[in-house]
Chain A
Amino acid sequence: MIGLLVRRNIIFILMSLEVMLNAAGLAFVVAGSRWGAPDGQIVFIFILAMAAAEVSVGLALTLQIYQRFKTLDADAASEMRG
């Protein structure tokens, strides 16, 4: 989570996101193992599918941002000011 908050490089943000999703899946699997139920592993499989879809879209966005701004700084893509 610290990696997600502190880093400004989009690649590192995506990697930290993977670690966080993995940690959530680990918690599910541990809970499923504690009660001997397969539900935790099933939720982990869903998290896995979600992570695969998320990372493919995120990396495509990263390539597009690099082509457009010539940098990987997350602050560069702040044209849509809130």
Chain B
Amino acid sequence: MDALFYISAAVAIIATFIMVTRMNAVHALLYLVVSLLAVALVFYSLGAPFVAVLEVIIYAGAIMVLFVFVVMMLNLGKRTILQERQWQQPGMWVGPAILAAILIGEVVTIITRGETRMSGAAVVGPRAVSLSLFGPYLIGVELASMLLLAGLVGAYHLGRRTRETREKEDVIRTDAARSASGGDLVRAGNDRAAGSS
């Protein structure tokens, strides 16, 4: 059934175009998630169900969560509250919701109709992919694992706070503890009260 493929492809193109032209990072992220889900449906209609599942789990699940976390960590201060109030207005999520509703309709169609592939597309199931992945492409799997390890170590190293900021935070914490203890420097930073030894 070709209509499924064309509808999800149109949704993917529209969502990606809107995402590129958005100014707000969170709105762009919403459209990007819709676009990735639409691409997953395109994969399914092309006869690649395993890759469609991977797209939903890893791209729309894991990588987008990373983006959301970083956007959350970067938006600090009072400006965020105003933005949050703006985001609660219903106009912001109507667009992604409509596109996602179209995709949900397609999924329901797939589940009720059963086999709804693109005409002329050969189905390559997970079995064939796995046999080929761990057969001739085994060295690629090993290289991908090394790349992921390098990415892990690199992200950990870069994501650390710098020594300067850590020292500044320690100074602030020490000052706070000192003022809380009322000038008693011996017990500063200690949870025990001054009288109980």
Contacts and interface: CB of A to CB of B under 8 A. Distances in A.
B39 A49 contact: no
A53 B48 contact: no
Given A22-B59, A61-B158, A41 B50 contact: yes
Interface stretch (B27-35, B101-109, B171-179, B188-196): B27-35
Contacts of B111: none
B20 A19 contact: yes
Nearest to A9: B25
Contacts of B25: 9, 11-12
A60 B46 contact: no
B97 interface: no
A63 B73 contact: yes
A18 to B, nearest CB: 7
Main secondary structure of the interface of B (DSSP, over half): helix
A22 B67 contact: no
A59 interface: yes
A51 B58 CA distance: 10
Contacts of A52: 58, 62-63, 148, 151
Contact of A33 (B20, B48, B144, B159): B48
B66 to A, nearest CB: 6
Nearest to A33: B46
Interface string B158-171: 11011001000000
B124 A57 contact: no
Contact of B158 (A12, A48, A50, A60): A60
Interface in B62-79: 62-63, 66-67, 70-71, 73-74
Interface centre among A22, A33, A67, A72 (most CB of B within 10 A): A33
Interface of B: 16, 19-20, 25, 28-29, 32, 35-36, 39, 42-43, 46-48, 50-51, 54-55, 58-59, 62-63, 66-67, 70-71, 73-74, 118, 121-122, 124, 128-129, 131-133, 137, 140, 144, 147-148, 150-152, 154-159, 161-162, 165
